[in-house]
Amino acid sequence: MEFGEGVRNIFLAGVGAAATTAETAKDIIDKLVEKGELTVEQGKVFNEELKHKAKEKVKDHVSVSVTKNFDDAFASVDKMSLEELKKLKERIAEAEAAKEEDSTDAEEA
């Protein structure tokens, strides 16, 4: 698994956990409304407050930074087999073709 893929998976797991927590909280609020312990309006306000606080917590505790430090990539290239180098060259050619296509599309626009 690549480093970027690992970060992506961790981020998605965090989002999934937050979504599950929000759903659970909503279910609890709905049950309290059904029992008459909260009015529908109080439930809506409470639910919105929970969503807002969850967003704040995510903003406070989650940061993602992307760097273009290629030292690790260059070290990896030194360790590759001929077959791996061939696949890497093919992937680079595909990426270059896509970039050229993107720049051509941008010039035409």
Concatenated DSSP letters for 27-61?
Answer: HHHHHHHHHTSS-HHHHHHHHHHHHHHHHHHHHHH
* CB contact burial 64-74 (16+ within 10 A = b; e otherwise): eeeeeeeeeee
Q: What is the pLDDT of residue 73?
A: 78
Q: What is the pLDDT of residue 96?
A: 92
Residues 6+ apart with CB under 8 A from 14: 58, 62
Reading the block at residue 47, the tokens are 């639910």
Mean pLDDT, 10 residues at a time, over the chain (109 residues)?
66 73 76 78 79 76 66 82 92 90 74
3 state SS of 95: helix
Q: What is the pLDDT of residue 62?
A: 67
Q: What is the pLDDT of residue 83?
A: 92
Q: What is the pLDDT of residue 2?
A: 55
* Single pTM value for the model: 0.35
Q: What is the Cβ-side half-sphere exposure of residue 48, based on CA atoms within 13 angstroms?
A: 6
User: Residue 36, by phi and psi: left (phi above 0), alpha (psi -120 to 50) or beta?
Assistant: left
